[in-house]
Structure 1
């Protein structure tokens, strides 16, 4: 089942409690997928003219390939901002917790322009991320990757940057949504992995994403640019900040993760 088909089912309330096959990440489900599932549930509480400004996810435990219970609660709905809390449970335990802030636009005298996109080589000139069963997560087969900055995972690199181009392999002509962008951002391996000399488990502990509206009039099948920077790493944890741009260099999202690594 394609990501666009999954989004349609979640919005219709069909199969929303089922984890689809083909999206595993070790013993867990791909974080971008479950984050998108939770976001769709939380967004259903909010007026259409309120944009998602920030989403914080805590990966409490691995979400397995079983039925899940998804719930959300509006904490406060003001004139401009609505705060929503959400949870994904399995077996009665909370495995994913989220806090979303939705806000309506308003006039302001403050405007700060964002930094330009990196100057990457084109996708056709950049190295593809290979799929190696048992080393690379299963869900990565759903995406095309082209590495334009940094090295392959587990290459022992000293470069603390990782990025390039990404898109859905099965993307359709449906307009890109927050759900698509959550998956595209989280599709990339943690930028700490190229620093390792051998395969080792790693996973996100917390993840915050801020979005810039309006979203580009593009689809998930278009190429998107991503660049991550490991800001600090020690004691089995790393702090990674990243950004996502469209192919024309328009900034779409900021993201920050705390990652655990077991090397």
Structure 2
């Protein structure tokens, strides 16, 4: 199934143009985590607004986002300033605000993923995973978890049993999570849903036995290619915890075995 205007993700990330460089959006409560709107979902909305500027540069190539405060469900305003427009890419600054207060400040470069060269030279390898059917379905989480993180109902998410020990009180301590993800209605991935997938899994700190949700300070997303239809496999890891903060690296691979998106975020250690 391809992305359509009637898909849940398309509806939830819809924006309405207010002027040449300003948009409004309605943030959906179904994308909350621990009482706040998820940062990956907000990236999807920012990407949707940027894509709406025009057809020349339809895809986010890189977005670096600072989270200035929590976003709530309800109306939001998006303002965009053009920094540079070239022949194949364009760069912008983006602010998302609610009730006059900014909650996101971002910089983005847009381009056309479908026009990039198809050469690949990488030492990166996809995560080695059991089939989705052999993995743990996140939908089987407790009622308490669903209530705290209704966002998990937006995805079909399957966790690799080898990295999901935290769910039964036995985290591996490696700082690694792996699994599969797709939109719950079966809509095939596109560049905007990849942005959301980059911040969709539980915090990697869960695998270190440090629970509760971890607020993101900054997240940089790189999109590398248009994703093939089907499941996306994910690898999330951390290597350094210091000063009350940790980094979280995420790789997303499509069904054709191609690395289609990467991110690094700096987050505060889980509270509580």
Q: Indicate whether the TM-score tops 0.5.
A: yes
**Higher percent of residues as helix:** 2
The Cα offsets for residues 97-147 of structure 1, whole Å up to 9 and x where unpaired, read as 111112468898x96335221221111111222333443511111112211
- In structure 2, which of residues 115, 120, 130 is the aligned counterpart of residue 121 of structure 1? 130
1:1-263 matches, cutoff 5 A: 2-7=8-13, 9-10=14-15, 16-45=24-53, 47-49=55-57, 51-103=59-111, 112-113=121-122, 115-129=124-138, 130-135=140-145, 136-148=148-160, 149-153=162-166, 155=169, 156-172=171-187, 176-196=189-209, 199-213=211-225, 215-218=226-229, 222-261=230-269, 262-263=271-272
**Whole-Å Cα distance in 2 between the matches of residues 244 and 120 of structure 1?**
13
TM-score normalized with structure 1 length: 0.85
CA distance in 1, matches of 2:57, 2:77: 27
Is contact 1:46-1:102 (8 Å) kept? no
Structure 2 residues not aligned, in runs of 5+: 1-6
Give yes or no for contact 2:159–2:180 (8 Å, CA) kept in 1.
yes
Instruction: Please state how far the C-alpha of 1:45 moved relative to its aligned partner.
Output: 3.0
- Which residues of structure 1 form unaligned runs of 5+? none
CA-based RMSD of the aligned residues comes to: 2.6
Q: CA deviation at 1:230?
A: 0.4
Q: Deviations over 1:176-207 (max 9, x none)?
A: 3221111222111121122125x423121111
Deviating more after overlay: 199-208 vs 251-260: 199-208
Aligned residues: 253
